[in-house]
Chain A
Amino acid sequence: MTDIMYWEAIRRAHDEEMAHDPLVICMGEDIGVAGGTYKATQGLYDKYGAERVIDTPISENGYTGVGIGASFLGVRPIIEIMSVNFAWLAMDQFFNSAAKVRYMSGGQLTAPVVVRSPGGTAHQLGAQHSARMEKIFMGIAGLRVVTPSNPRQAYGLLKSAVRCNDPVFINEHELMYNMKGEVSDEEFFHPLEGSEVTREGKDVTLFAYNISVHWCLKAADILSKQFGIEAEVVDLYALAPLDRAGIAASVRKTHRAVIVEEAEPAVGVGSEVMAIINEECFFELDAAPVRVSAAHVPIPYNHSLEKAAIPNADDVVMAVRRMFGK
Chain B
Amino acid sequence: MNVADKKRLLREMLFARRFEERCYEAYVERKIGGFLHLYSGEEACAHGVLEAANPGHDYVITSYRDHIHAIKCGADPRKVMAELYAKETGSSRGRGGSMHIFDVEHRFMGGYALVGGPFPLAAGIAKAIKMKGGDEICICFLGDAANNQGTFHESLNMAKLWDLPVLYVCENNLYGIGTRIDRSTAVIDQYKRVSGYNIPSAQEDGQDIEKVFKAAKKAVNHVRSGNGPYFLELMTYRYRGHSMSDSNAYRSKDEERMWSNRDPIIMLRDRLIEAGHITKADYKAMDNEILDEIEDDIIAFAESSPEPRVDELEKYTLAENDPWVYGGGR
Contacts and interface: CB of A to CB of B under 8 A. Distances in A.
Contacts of A63: 120, 154, 158
A101 B125 contact: no
Most chain B Cβ neighbours within 10 Å, of A65, A166, A188, A193: A65
A106 B95 contact: yes
A301 B129 CA distance: 46
Contacts of A61: 120, 150-151, 154
Contacts of B176: none
A54 B94 CA distance: 37
B150 A106 contact: no
Nearest to B102: A105
Contacts of B90: 106
B324 A164 contact: yes
Contact of B124 (A59, A68, A107): A68
Contacts of A85: none
Interface stretch (B107-115, B206-214, B220-228): B107-115
Interface in A266-304: none
A300 B330 CA distance: 47
Interface string A209-251: 0000000000000000000000000000000000000000000
Given A66-B120, A103-B317, A160 B158 contact: no
Nearest to A162: B324
Contacts of A265: none
B319 A70 contact: no
Given A25-B131, A65-B151, A71 B124 contact: yes
A261 B217 CA distance: 58
B170 interface: no
B56 to A, nearest CB: 15
Interface string A187-206: 01111110000000000000
Given A66-B127, A164-B319, A192 B325 contact: yes
Size range of the chain B interface in the assembly: 35 or more
A72 B109 contact: yes
B129 A73 contact: yes
B316 A107 contact: yes
Interface in B123-139: 123-132
Contact of B123 (A65, A109, A192): A65
B315 A165 contact: no
B7 interface: no
A65 B124 contact: yes
Interface stretch (A2-10, A91-99, A126-134): A91-99
Nearest to B100: A104
A121 interface: no
A67 interface: yes
Interface string A108-136: 11100000000000000000000000000
A103 B315 CA distance: 8
Contact of B328 (A104, A105, A189): A189
Interface in B302-330: 315-319, 322, 324-328, 330
A25 B130 CA distance: 13
Interface string A151-185: 00000100011011110000000000000000000
A69 B123 contact: yes
B85 to A, nearest CB: 14
Most chain A Cβ neighbours within 10 Å, of B105, B117, B316, B319: B316
Given A57-B157, A102-B319, A142-B318, A108 B325 contact: no
Contacts of B96: 104-106
Contacts of B95: 103-106
A74 interface: yes
Given A56-B158, A62-B150, A164-B322, A105 B131 contact: no
Nearest to B327: A191
Contacts of A141: 317
B164 to A, nearest CB: 9
Interface of B: 59, 61, 90-97, 100, 102-105, 109-110, 112-114, 117, 119-132, 150-151, 154-155, 157-158, 161-162, 315-319, 322, 324-328, 330
Given A105-B102, A165-B322, 9 more contacts: A23-B131, A52-B131, A63-B154, A68-B121, A92-B117, A102-B319, A104-B92, A160-B324, A164-B319
Interface of A: 23, 25, 51-52, 54, 56-57, 59, 61-75, 92-93, 96-97, 101-110, 141-142, 144, 156, 160-161, 163-166, 188-193
| 9 interchain residue pairs of minimum CB distance | A69-B124, A65-B120, A62-B154, A106-B93, A73-B128, A189-B328, A69-B121, A59-B154, A105-B102
15 contacts: A59-B150, A61-B120, A62-B123, A65-B117, A66-B124, A70-B131, A97-B112, A97-B121, A102-B316, A105-B96, A106-B91, A110-B319, A141-B317, A190-B327, A192-B326
